[in-house]
Structure 1
Amino acid sequence: MFASKRKRKEALENILYTVPSVILVSLMLYIPFIMSGYYSLTEWNGIAKEPTFIGLQNFKTIFSESMEFRKALIFTGKYTLVFVILSNVIAIALAVALTKKFRLVNVVRGVFFIPYIMSMTIVGFIWKFIFTQGFSRLFEMTDWGVWNYSWLGDPKLAFYSVALVGVWQSLGFYIVLYIAGLQAVPKDVLEAATVDGASGRKRFFHVTLPLLGPSITTCIFMSLTNALKVFDIILALTKGGPGGATYSVALQIYKEAFQSNHYGLGSAESIIYFLFVLIITQVVLKIFSSREVES
């Protein structure tokens, strides 16, 4: 009898603790997603009282006429590839260096982590000042041509500028994850490899790196999702310029819906991009998870 009362009490507590979070998540995520799915089938400017139902016309327009969405998709794909590779390779290299024992190791770790806790918008404005005012000042001091390039005005350089700032801002987070993974590598395994005559390079690539499988999977997944939803740093740095060269898909959806007042078309773009991101992330996660198991 007492056991059944305790179970009912625990079940009631679980419901009471769960219901508020379910309501909040539904209000902030699930309900807007369902409404976006509905608006993607309509033509609406956000002002009219009732949207006009047009079926799949928005999706037809995106696939047949919307060059801007395709360009934004290509840019986001390139940015994601560069961001994921650079952020993870550099983070692993720095994590290995920062697991060594030296006097200011904790200070250096903190220095790398500080940009991550800063707002992306603030980081964007800081680097915008550096690219414009800071680099021109360095050119006056050194007369080196590299400082005189139009880093935000040239379409090719603007892409690398945005990628550089994105990697710089998020690097500290991935370094922390890789440091945790490196510290979890069993010491006896490394010692056994040393006894077997493995050099430092071989120990890293054949022992340490495979054992970093869980950390690599986590960091790849996190960097992939962060790159695919890049928005605020581009808005602060280039606003999609020059000439639309740095428009990400998230920024394109924002422009279509909230600046051009094409809420139906913007909702359709968001649905398509959601499916694209869902497929890409699941495929990548499955690939790296399988390699992690093999390791």
Structure 2
Amino acid sequence: MGNKSKKELILFTLPALIMVSITIYLPFVISSYYSLTEWNGISKSAKFIGLQNFKTLFFNNSQFLNVLIFTGKYTFLFMLLSNVMALILATFLVQKIKTANILRGVFFVPYIMSMIIVGFIWKFIFSQGFARLFEITGWGFLNLSWLGNAHLAFYAVVFVGVWQQLGFYIVLYIAGLQAIPEDVMEAATVDGAGALSRFFRVKLPLLGPSITICLFMSLTNGLKVFDIILALTQGGPGGATYSATLDIYREAFQYNNYGLGSAKALVFFLIVLIMTQIVLTISRRNEVEV
């Protein structure tokens, strides 16, 4: 590579590096510093207290553990339902049916909507829409307090999250299914493999890259859930649907405890980093190349 090419490379990449540093790396470093301080976000200076925020977090703050447990349960169920349902629907939608393109659009529409708007829509449905349907049909599950019961609120939040994100994963799985060579499937059919055998022994292994992407995306989307919970339950009832991101937001911006909020954010970042690396490593080991 000549000197001119090197200069051009530096010239074109430098603006992107500066922007990434300003928007990601610099705030991360500043937040790491504030996690070692006691600061209300208003005073001019922050009081340095070392690791006291982390001691408080691990030994005197049981609520954060409950928040992490809820986030873990939500993420697991969100990942499971999103990927299983998306794969089933994608397998159906790649078939040669007249309404396939229309159905793809129908499933994808919720994904392009704002999550806050989706949350408010479903809050109205759970509180008033279901009540009206119960009067018409008499079905008992429609008369349940979906957002007022701690146990049911969890499943309501998961349902809305899956409903909103499902179209995105369907598109990814459709792309993976369409990339499988036809001659591979024809060879499996000639060898006498049935429909289920072709799916589990041929299609599923070859979908490894798509599965890896979908697992990674659903994991990160599940862990950072915020908007839907804020619109649906605001963490209620009784803090039963507090996610980690919502807890960090309230600690820093509502309770004006930026030091402890930054400590929570840093701990949560490390948890997300470890979990994503584990999922990516396991998924990539099971990928099969054509």
**TM-score per shorter chain, which class?**
over 0.9
Equivalent residue in structure 1 for 2:10, among 15, 26, 41:
15
Give the structure 2 partner of residue 262 of structure 1. Answer: 257
Mapped partners of 1:16, 1:126: distance in 2: 47
What is the CA-CA distance between 1:210 and the residue it aligns to?
A: 0.6
* Secondary structure of residue in 2 paired with 1:48: coil
Q: Distance in 1 between matches of 2:7 and 2:128?
A: 61
Q: Aligned match of 2:283 in 284, 288, 295?
A: 288
Partner of 1:247: 242
Letter aligned with residue 198 of structure 1: A
Correspondence 1:43-122 to 2 at 5 A: 43-122=38-117
Alpha-carbon shift at residue 125 of structure 1 (Å): 0.7
Residue 173 in structure 1 maps to residue 163 in structure 2: no
Which one of the candidate residues 265, 273, 294 is aligned to 2:268?
273
Structure 2: stretches of 5+ with no match in the other structure: none
Q: Name the structure 1 match of 2:154.
A: 159
Q: Secondary structure at the match of 1:292?
A: coil
Task: Give secondary structure in 1 for the equivalent of 2:286.
Answer: helix
Root-mean-square deviation (CA), in Å?
1.2
Q: What is the Cα deviation at residue 288 of structure 1?
A: 0.8
Shift of 1:293: 4.7
Contact 2:206 2:289 in 1 (8 A): no
Residue deviations 1:121-162 (CA, integer Å, cap 9, x gap) = 111111111111110110111121111101111001000000
Q: Where does structure 1 lack aligned partners over 5 or more consecutive residues?
A: none
Amino acid at match of 1:246: T
Q: TM-score, normalised by structure 2?
A: 0.98
Question: C-alpha displacement at 1:189, in angstroms?
Answer: 1.3
Q: CA offset at residue 105 of structure 1?
A: 1.0
Corresponding residue to 1:40 among 35, 40, 46: 35
Offset from partner CA, 1:37-76 (integer Å, 9 cap, x none): 0000000011111110000000000001112211110000
In the comparison of the two structures, how many residue pairs are matched?
290
Residue 95 of structure 1 aligns to a residue in which SS? helix
In the alignment, the residues of structure 1 paired with residue 146 and residue 112 of structure 2 have an alpha-carbon distance, to the nearest angstrom, of 25
Does residue 1:194 correspond to 2:189, yes or no? yes
Structure 2 partner of 1:31:
26
Per the normalisation by structure 1, the TM-score is 0.96
**Separation in structure 1 between the aligned mates of residue 11 and residue 191 of structure 2, nearest angstrom:** 58
What is the CA–CA distance in structure 1 between the aligned matches of 2:13 and 2:30, rounded to whole Å? 24
SS at match of 1:116: helix
Contact 1:86/1:167 (<8 A) preserved: yes
Further displaced range: 33-42 or 21-30: 21-30
Amino acid at match of 1:228: L
Q: In 2, distance between residues paired with 1:294 and 1:74?
A: 36
Q: How far off its partner does 1:259 sit?
A: 0.6
Q: Structure 2 CA distance, aligned partners of 1:8 and 1:247? A: 55
- CA distance in 2: counterparts of 1:68 and 1:24, whole angstroms: 36
What SS class does the counterpart of residue 185 from structure 1 fall into? coil
Equivalent residue letter for 2:5:
E
Superposed CA offset, 1:82-115 (max 9, x none)? 0000000000000000001111211110000011
